[in-house]
Amino acid sequence: MVNKVVKNADEAVKDIPHRATLMLGGFGLCGIPENCISAILKSGMTGLTCISNNAGVDDFGIGLMLKTRQVKKMISSYVGENAEFERQLLSGELEVELIPQGTLAERIRAGGAGIPAFFTPAGVGTEVAKGKETREFNGKIYLMEHWLRADFSLVKAWKGDTAGNLIYRGTARNFNPMMAEAGTITIAEVEELVPIGTLDPNSIHTPGIYVHRIFQGVNYEKRIEQRTISNLKI
How long, in residues, is the chain? Answer: 234
**Residue 134 pLDDT:** 97
- CA distances to 9, 13, 33, 150 from 16, rounded to whole Å, are 12, 6, 15, 12
Architecture of the 9-117+147-216 domain: 3-Layer(aba) Sandwich (3.40)
With vertex at residue 101, the alpha carbon angle to CA 115 and CA 23, rounded to the nearest 5 degrees, is: 65
End-to-end CA separation in angstroms for the chain:
56
Q: List pLDDT tens digits, range 33-89.
A: 999 999 999 998 999 999 999 988 988 999 999 999 999 999 999 887 788 998 999
Q: State how far the Cα of 103 lies from the Cα of 99, in Å rounded to an integer.
A: 7
Instruction: Express as a percent the part of the chain with pLDDT over 70.
Output: 97
Q: List pLDDT tens digits, range 178-192.
A: 999 999 999 999 999
Q: What sign has the CA pseudo-torsion 107, 113, 115, 118?
A: negative
**Residue 171 pLDDT:** 92
